[in-house]
A and B are shown apart, each in its own frame.
Chain A
């Protein structure tokens, strides 16, 4: 049993004794990890990715340090408004990932299932709900979420509002990608501003919001440049960096720190060697905990994950005259909203940007949208010239198992690409 595994057991035991004790142990462990990222970063990673690991850890610690200054949110919530309200995004998907990385997810999942939630529900949702039920995660100031682009959001976040007994706000994004939908969401974002002002007692200034949204646009533009320019370069990759990037590209979008990260990425490319091995563009979440997946992609010159669709769900060409309209446009035009062709076409475009040798469509257990579309997606990617692997698994729940199958599928796929 390794140190982290032991830590997870200690957290679970402490939480069983007293929720506040469990929270304390969890926070202490993560604070130590934060120090490690600062003083002993992973040497294999480039500076930008070392910076990103610390940035992400800080983002996870903020709600534990000051929960009352945090808003639980779903990944595609436009967090510029949350930041302008002086709140830390307290992201469900990311927090569940960190609980899993700390080997503390099993007790949470069990708690959620014991409460009656289905075992086929997405494990990110079950982990966070279970952690809220057993008191491992602290009560936030409020909850802000959207139906984009997971139907489970509608249930999970309203349940969290009941558990935490805090106010919540849902942004209902129509499936139709039209100007009318953008107008509808724009109106809702104005209501969200009022909700946040009322909840925090702090005013949100539209000029500051406009600057922040303009920074979001610059950041997305530079990230698009980075993805294109990395196509023929070798950037050492692990399994978590693409996930961090996916998280920060959403919940920290518009912050100076996220902009810094993207600039550092571009600087790293200046000295990066030419491309090595096979490059994979990844659709949906990554099973970062899986030994079988690590065997093939953890700092391997032979194969790397060079992009994840979740970090590129919206283009930079959104209107910025009105920041509310800009954010609404991004939500409606999110690649995962609307018919499946939008998601697939975005994936193909981004895979082309990075000159990917192949695509993995990860069928995360519980994600019905991804599972249901997998056959169409595989066909479309292959017609676009990308050999595509449908990989079944779970991005968060290590008890899902199937490591043997994962290893065989990935191994055979890479052998196919090399043949």
Chain B
């Protein structure tokens, strides 16, 4: 039976695996973006780790052998073993030093791999095939003898290598952490091999694996100096992957000592930020040409017809517009809500003296709801949050009182929620927006089980029971990506208001992916798309999908189930709502009072305090 084994690193014993009938494939593709991995392993992890989880979960891979390169790969192994659906995953514990003792340790690891894979595959280790594979590996240990540029640092996927090849005027060698595999140079003669038993052969092989040019995880890294001192080396493209810290140490050591031009590039191990990378690589190619202009014979090609760099429709700045200052309020500065009684006027009963106020002090808007003692909404106000939470709350409360034709003395209890909740004076209690949103959503529609709130500063998904009690919740990571602020920034980049943006993207033609996980990278990606004259609708749709993916990932992480309700000002963004419904596979309940949900929950808690 044929088997295909994916592997990730040069320390992998692929000759041994091929001797058990496995066809070994190097997993080194950079994806367009990330999928289920962010739900399984999180966002703030090296992109290569995430790409591996996605690859393993794609169903296209059945066998994967890992090496304990770093803590990210340890986590990948943990996640795939406990949560994944791979039929075969095996981790090899590669020592950090190369000594007789550690060669013995690795030999035991190799035997363990043989036993494990024989049991899984039903195939057996074939010594002849093993020696044959070693001879092939030995034949591949050839060092090119011509000028080249090296990609060093953290792993560069095939796509990045191709991009460098395309842009550089010299041959480009990928010598990043996992590349440059050299096995078999010291393979004994056939006569000697015949005298070696399998244990001795495996011990020799362990030494070959450990004796390769070291990556940065090895204790003795002096061998890496040959990477910078090779006489054919003409330039270094130093690549680091965000959240992989190993190679920043080497870069800090060599950046001012190497004698050839060096450029540092960072990626999140997706192809998304290629526009940004391209600009850097093209500039570096120009630097290489200038540096070696006196020896033009070294160039295998010259720049021809390369597109111009850097001009974008939006220019250098991101001019703010008055309307885009606040992602949840449009046009006028004050907006009153519908009161749910059908006639758009407050439903008041002046014979009742007790009213209850809820104030939701968010980063973008301050919302106030006033309830009467029967829980009727007598006023609902949304104001942009100004310089101070306390002052904005006071202003919004006064506006709500005026709207309801009440005075402060009519308010029996005030509960505050939202980011500024504790800064507001003269309240009776403050409660987090998680609890308040759940309460408000339950009041608006008791059938709802999951609330999705995309606020200016954060996104949250709240799972609740039939009584509106919070069972679980999750918020976005520290990065602004996936929040109202992210949309705000992107609208500015595209020189439109949020209201304009919310209507775009519904009639897209090209399905664009905005894959960068970082807001800054995503912004760079949008700038690149604008420069490529992509249609606005298509770009906005890509952004909507990006936010929807993150939000759906949050919902999946917390176990959210339908019916879903979306609250907060972003719920008015039609394009995003559509994209999110597609990602969730379910309709979103969007109340007319969606933006008031947190304040409503707070007011309901205030009403509970009446006794």
Contact = CB atoms under 8 A, between A and B. Distances in A.
B432 A152 contact: no
A405 B71 contact: no
Interface in B99-133: 101-102, 105, 108-109
B42 A371 contact: yes
A179 B193 CA distance: 32
Interface stretch (B78-86, B158-166, B178-186, B352-360): B78-86
Interface string B450-491: 000000011000000000011001110110000000000000
B243 interface: yes
B578 interface: no
Interface in A21-41: none
A162 to B, nearest CB: 8
B49 interface: yes
Interface string B26-47: 0000000000000111101110
A340 to B, nearest CB: 4
A118 B79 contact: no
Interface stretch (B135-143, B244-252, B304-312, B539-547): B244-252
Contacts of A412: 432, 434-435, 470, 473
Contact of A175 (B68, B219, B432, B433): B68
A400 to B, nearest CB: 8
A172 B95 contact: yes
Contacts of A368: 45-46, 70-72, 74-75, 243
A392 B478 contact: yes
A154 interface: yes
A232 interface: no
A392 B477 contact: yes
Contact of B78 (A180, A373, A408): A373
Interface in A399-419: 400-402, 404-405, 407-409, 411-412, 415-416, 419
Given A116-B255, A175-B93, A365-B44, A340 B434 contact: no
B105 A180 contact: yes
B540 to A, nearest CB: 27
A416 B78 CA distance: 29
Given A116-B252, A408-B433, A373 B102 contact: no
A154 B478 CA distance: 27
Given A115-B252, A366-B245, A372-B71, A158 B76 contact: no
Contact of A369 (B75, B246, B252, B477): B75
B318 interface: no
**Which bracket fits the contact residues of B?**
35 or more
Interface residues of A, number: 54
Contacts, number: 159
A78 B208 CA distance: 32
A401 B458 CA distance: 14
B557 interface: yes
Say whether chain B's binding surface is mostly helix, strand, loop, or mixed.
Answer: mixed
A349 interface: no
A275 interface: no
B432 A184 contact: no
Interface string B329-370: 000000000000000000000000000000000010000000
A343 B419 CA distance: 34
A390 B252 CA distance: 33
B75 A155 contact: no
A3 B102 CA distance: 52
Contacts of B83: 375-376
B503 interface: no
A273 B72 CA distance: 44
B320 interface: no
A377 B473 CA distance: 16
A419 B475 CA distance: 20
B97 interface: yes
A207 B91 CA distance: 40
A411 B477 contact: no
A159 interface: yes
A117 B245 contact: yes
B173 interface: no
A375 B475 CA distance: 13
A176 B108 CA distance: 11
Interface string A164-180: 00000010101110001
Contact of B246 (A122, A155, A376, A419): A155
A375 B556 CA distance: 11
Nearest to B471: A416
B470 A372 contact: no
B216 interface: yes
Given A371-B44, A392-B44, 9 more contacts: A121-B245, A151-B71, A154-B216, A176-B109, A184-B102, A368-B75, A371-B45, A415-B431, A415-B432
Interface of B: 39-42, 44-46, 49, 68, 70-72, 74-79, 81-83, 91, 93, 95-97, 101-102, 105, 108-109, 216-217, 219, 221, 240, 242-246, 248-249, 251-252, 255, 363, 419, 422, 431-435, 457-458, 469-470, 473-475, 477-478, 557
12 contacts: A116-B249, A120-B245, A155-B216, A174-B95, A184-B105, A372-B41, A375-B42, A390-B474, A405-B457, A407-B422, A408-B458, A415-B431
**Top 8 nearest A-B pairs by Cβ distance?**
A372-B75, A116-B252, A412-B434, A118-B248, A368-B71, A340-B78, A369-B71, A121-B245
